[in-house]
């Protein structure tokens, strides 16, 4: 385990895991909630997320850009972009809106032109895989080649199975065991 990953796990455990009764975006009930925005937007933790996620996607060849469905993916993609640049990597980032804009250029995918480019969809946490799959549908409409889905925290529900069943490799940096939640 890398030092950055150990530090990231500690920050998430200490500052982003809440216990109680919660309803997840999927509608499922849970006795804990991992609120990654508590740390993904923190100046101490965002660089760690970028470093750890760079390691997660390092073996995927020829990735042009990373991003996903706004808002959970946005700080993750930005962290990868910035930490990648610090390492000499050239990952760009993109944002996928839930719906196309109803004004301007009417775009659903913002950022560089992704037609014919290899991209990785990122997410902060994933329960059902719905957000990455929504992002994938929008990306494929603009001609992007989705080569994987990478999440910071996998809730160990059915996200991996749904994404892999749809034909995409699934990568997770941290699991519930790492956070003492299994």
Please, what are the averages of pLDDT over each run of 10 residues along the chain (182 residues)?
91 97 85 93 97 98 97 97 96 92 76 98 93 97 98 93 98 96 86
- Which domains are seen in the chain, by residue range? 49-175 (3.40.50.2020)
Q: Could you tell me the pTM of the whole model? A: 0.94
For helices 46-57 and 73-86, give the axis angle rounded to 10 degrees.
Answer: 80
**pLDDT for res 66:** 98
DSSP H/E element including 93? strand 92-96
């Amino acid at each position: 385990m890398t030092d950055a990953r150990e530090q990231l796990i500690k920050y998430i455990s200490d500052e982003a895991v809440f216990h109680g009764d919660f309803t997840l975006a999927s509608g499922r009930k849970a006795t804990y909630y991992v609120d990654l925005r508590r740390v993904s937007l923190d100046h101490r933790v965002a660089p760690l997320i970028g470093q750890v996620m760079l390691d997660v996607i390092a073996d995927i060849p020829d990735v042009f850009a990373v991003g996903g469905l706004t808002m959970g993916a946005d700080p993750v993609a930005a962290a990868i972009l910035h930490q990648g640049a610090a390492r000499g990597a050239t990952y760009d980032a993109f944002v996928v809106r839930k719906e196309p804009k109803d004004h301007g250029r009417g775009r659903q995918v913002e950022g560089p032109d992704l037609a014919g480019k290899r991209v990785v969809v990122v997410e902060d946490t994933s329960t059902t895989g719905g957000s990455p799959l929504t992002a994938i549908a929008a990306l494929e409409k603009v001609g992007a080649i989705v080569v994987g889905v990478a999440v910071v925290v996998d809730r160990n529900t059915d996200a991996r199975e749904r994404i892999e069943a749809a034909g995409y490799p699934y990568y997770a940096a941290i699991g519930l065991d790492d956070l003492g939640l299994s």
